[in-house]
A = this chain, B = another copy of it.
């Protein structure tokens, strides 16, 4: 027994000695500038139409996302994380400008998103997160879907990105054949080929492939990201990796196809997850783990009419296009062992907050000449202090449908989408839900909570008092569209 204690003590000494030597090697092997002076690299991985319930760490039974699950486990998994709009173009504008799309005209009641014949895009006076980070010397890349204007002046390389590789809008655009099964809303993936969509693939502002081969697009986006990281590891970098998928039509590479028990939709999500794993692996092999923050989220909720080709909002109500929670609440995963204090976070956050958060970490001020809708989440991410954000504005087009303040969400207008979840209805007094008690928005608790409704109405009043709607950038198209 005595000898056991001695052996234990000895082993502990050796272990401590070993760890001490290793740690001293580590701090020696990197120049100090890389260690401390340099702000973190940022990688935002943005999925398309992926719902709140589409990752295994958010409760999906058959879509297995071990790499995103690991990010959530080692980092922070946010459960009240929102995007700026329930559809593509405005949501992306919101993330990249830190501003509600109503302010910069990137939302409209005429067209919900930009189309291949749209004339406009993100106004030049808007400051993108890439333009912002360039002030701090970052090298910047947009890889993947853009959807903020495909004419040259609107493309990423004219909006602060040093590098662009991707499809400039949605992967279901530029149809070259009639949908073999009839109208758009009957679109099923079974009979579709990548050749049916004549979408261009750009490098910079040049078309390098048309139609883009969508079978391999997901893995090519991940590969481009990895190659960008390797080439730019010596200076701070920002990568905005916006996958075109799992937006319909769904395509997966030969390696990914048939891998998921969830079917093709699962194959696609798992291929994205596989790329996430490769990116994390690259950060490790390049010695960037301690100095990089990776964020994962999606642009809006699942596109429900497409049956199993669409995803799931989990326990949230409705999906893409709607101001119910399923339209705008998304997985929000923050990973970065050098910065992020692990755990579950139930505080409110928004994709718009990345602007202020990254700016603060990079040591640059956010613009003072315009209204920003961006909060610095740094203290929450780094020290688990309460989130500075206490509210969410839910716009549909240019109309404010709902507002969340703290635990409560008031719907002034409810409206389903794609024939589900009810017709447009205005509510006065508003319908009120306690979202933390009732995430599925089942029980109207307006009665008896007039004070809370009053607080939300006051919040909205203040919000509207400083609101100058931007000129509608989505309305004008080459062809007349009803």
Binding site for B on A (CB under 8 A): 4, 7-8, 10-15, 17-22, 24-25, 28-29, 52-53, 56-62, 64, 66, 73, 79-80, 261-263, 265, 307-308, 312-315, 344, 346, 407, 434, 436-440, 442-443
Report the Cα distance A58→B77, complex, angstroms: 13
6 nearest A-B residue pairs (beta carbon): A59-B59, A61-B79, A11-B21, A15-B18, A14-B18, A261-B436
Beyond the given A4-B29, A60-B439, please list 18 additional residue pairs across the A-B interface where CB-CB is below 8 A.
Answer: A11-B19, A14-B18, A53-B314, A56-B344, A60-B315, A61-B79, A61-B315, A61-B439, A62-B79, A62-B439, A64-B346, A261-B346, A263-B436, A263-B437, A308-B437, A308-B443, A312-B440, A313-B315
- Number of this chain's copies in the assembly equals 2
Known: A8-B22, A17-B14, A314-B53. Contact between A308 and B438, CB under 8 A? yes
- Is B25's CB under 8 angstroms from A4's CB? yes
- Is B59's CB under 8 angstroms from A80's CB? no
- Rounded to whole Å, the gap between the CB of A138 and the closest CB of chain B is 30
Known: A15-B15, A59-B59, A438-B308. Contact between A10 and B4, CB under 8 A? no
- Rounded to whole Å, the gap between the CB of A391 and the closest CB of chain B is 16
Question: Whose C-beta in chain B lies nearest to the C-beta of A308?
Answer: B437
A61 contacts which of B61, B307, B436 (Cβ < 8 Å)? Answer: B436
Q: Which residues of B contact A59 (CB under 8 A)?
A: 52-53, 58-60, 314-315
- Is A28's CB under 8 angstroms from B12's CB? no
Report the Cα distance A4→B21, complex, angstroms: 9
Q: Which residues of B contact A56 (CB under 8 A)?
A: 79, 344
